[in-house]
A and B are shown apart, each in its own frame.
Chain A
Amino acid sequence: MSSPSRQPLLEVRNLRVEFFGRRGRLLALDDVSFHIDPGEVLGVVGESGAGKSLTGASIIGLLEPPGRISGGEILLEGKRIDNLPYEELRRIRGRQIGAIFQDPLTSLNPLYRVGEQIVETIRTHLPMSEQQARKRGIELLQEVGIPSAAERFDHYPHQFSGGMRQRVVIALALCAEPKLIIADEPTTALDVSIQAQIITLLKRLCRDHGTAVMLVTHDMGVIAETADRVAVMYAGRIAEIGPVQDVVKRARHPYTHGLMGAIPEMGADIDKLTQIEGAMPRLNSIPPGCAFNPRCPSAFDRCREEKPYLLPVERSQVACWLYDETGARREAAHG
């Protein structure tokens, strides 16, 4: 275990999430482990359905039935939070872990003034009077860059544009000074021209407040620019996790490699982008062994039989048998 001075803010250990349906169980998250340090930005990338958002929802305890955590644990500052009763977890949500969702247009209740929603959130978590909360709310709106915040405070959500609404959502996520923010594709629904502004804002705010961020996205550009470390997810498992430079520039896992090859580069003289053959398997048809093996150019026998676990490779961890020396040796002994 790490020393107390370097205790991670959030630790997820062997998280399993299953969906219980009429036709049996579907394993949606399989043995997911990672940690986030205080003030750190962890990017989580992967295709749709890889389990990125599900991981975020599990952490804040808002998995929707029939989804359920069926194994592993989630620790916030060393304390387990995955098995807390609803009411205690509610106190953590917003207060310790904030959340930002994909679509700012639908995240705000249309029938309440923006200010009312901010004051409500502040007063749910902090012992403040109506006036104090209002003052703080206006300051927050100023901080997220909303012009004439005092006036806008009393406007309704429909009077704000998409980008402005996402700023309000960020203010709402920050208003009780949480230590961690889970941002689930915060810019996907926005205009490209606004995306950069929102990411810059989020980054600046979290640096100023010392807030850690789990940034879920499928935009590698955003990750490369913002994250300290990156976790790459595939079919409900973590394929690779490590410092952003390593993952982007020297991808270890064949899947990450393919993913990076699919990013267009300015000035590069290529006719075609590399693309990974095939598609991510559906949850009910994940192949045995490594989930990526049918699409993997370097797959060998072991990949089809044995599920890889995260192996340390320099500063990263990679779930790929290519990097298992002991295993290779074992295989040699067998053969």
Chain B
Amino acid sequence: MIAFILRRLAQAVLVMLTVAFIAFAMFNFVGDPINNMVGQDTSLQDREALRQSLGLNDPLVLRFGRFVANAAQGEFGVSFRLAEPVSRLILNALPATMELAIVAALLAVIFGVMLGVYTGLYPNRWLSRFFLTISLIGVSLPTFLIGILLILVFAVLLGLLPSFGRGEVVRIGWWSTGFLTWSGIKALILPSITLGLFQMTLIMRLVRSEMLEVMRTDYIKFARARGLTNRAINFGHALKNTLVPVITITGLQLGAIIAFAIITETVFQWPGMGLLFIQSVQFADIPVMAAYLILVAVIFVVINLIVDLLYFAVDPRLRIDGGRSGH
């Protein structure tokens, strides 16, 4: 178990170094960083002096090492566009994205699993077919369209919910939260539905097909033959056996929700990392883009590690400790 975690951590470090190298390459080879910093009338000597003082003439390995060391301390330089430290920009945008992503993920998991179990247990019911048809829409409609439709119906036509922004936020330390005000919660509803809908339908379809499969297994048949109640069979025996693939996909989708909140954040002008990233791309604000890239990689790596550990919690066959014995 410990060996497994250590092995996974070593892999994570490798992944992070690779991502860091890509970010570093972006920094150094997409245009000339000096050009980005100085005015047009700076002399060649001054440019060379600046290059020297910034250490840009050092060997590649040394510069990469310096980049990694800085990144590890959360130091990504200064934004070209806003002339503010990147770390502060990210830190300001992080809470908005995290809150949006968490609410969207909760919606996706709770409703996805519930609907998946229902449609898996009663595949022939009218309501199941209805959910499946609806889920097709969720899978096939692009996120921005769903967002715009929701804005049209609930913000423009009905005027119930705000169409953009986070509403009022409360600051707790460096974290700004929208959970504590009514307008903050109202502002969360539409973006989180937009962001979570695709994942919800995905999880629902996955749980459904897993349930259908598990219900056909011998141990479910035997559980019925033992006279267990339907509740014990459906939720105790069947659902638990569907969890391993569901955890995998949900974990990966959680990463995707955080990383690709870009579109939803753009549609709803949500002041999170996605919006920050899109604006940085427009201005070729490379330090911000590099930091975003690394942060997303960290999130994916951490989630994957948690998913792997959850397998051990769910499936005893993966725990090697208990001795196997013959007859």
Contact = CB atoms under 8 A, between A and B. Distances in A.
Contact of A124 (B227, B316, B317, B323): B227
Interface string A20-60: 00000000000000000000000000000000000000001
Contacts of B232: 120, 124
Contact of B218 (A101, A159, A162, A164): A101
Contact of B322 (A90, A155, A161): A155
A196 interface: no
Contact of A161 (B223, B228, B229, B326): B326
Interface in A87-115: 90-95, 98-99, 101, 103, 106-113
A106 B327 contact: no
A108 B218 CA distance: 8
Interface of B: 217-219, 221-230, 232, 236-237, 240-241, 314-317, 322-327
A94 B227 contact: yes
Interface of A: 60, 62, 90-95, 98-99, 101, 103, 106-113, 120-121, 124-125, 155-156, 158-164, 169, 172-173, 176, 194
B149 to A, nearest CB: 40
Contact of A109 (B219, B229, B322, B326): B219
B167 to A, nearest CB: 43
B227 A92 contact: yes
A111 B228 contact: no
Given A120-B228, A159-B323, A194-B327, A111 B221 contact: no
A93 B225 contact: yes
A110 B317 contact: yes
A103 B229 contact: no
B101 to A, nearest CB: 30
A106 B226 CA distance: 15
A155 B321 CA distance: 11
A94 B142 CA distance: 51
Contact of B317 (A156, A169, A172): A156
Contact of B224 (A62, A109, A110): A62
B326 A121 contact: no
A103 B218 CA distance: 8
B50 to A, nearest CB: 63
Contacts of A108: 219, 222
A180 to B, nearest CB: 12
A159 B226 contact: no
The CB with the most chain A CB atoms within 10 A, among B223, B229, B322, is that of B223
A199 to B, nearest CB: 15
Contact of B226 (A103, A112, A124): A124
A163 B327 contact: yes
Contacts of B316: 110-111, 113, 156, 158
Contacts of A159: 322-325
Nearest to B244: A111
10 contacts: A93-B224, A99-B226, A106-B218, A107-B219, A107-B222, A108-B222, A109-B237, A124-B232, A161-B325, A173-B226
A111 B241 contact: yes
A107 B314 CA distance: 19
B89 to A, nearest CB: 46
A248 B322 CA distance: 47
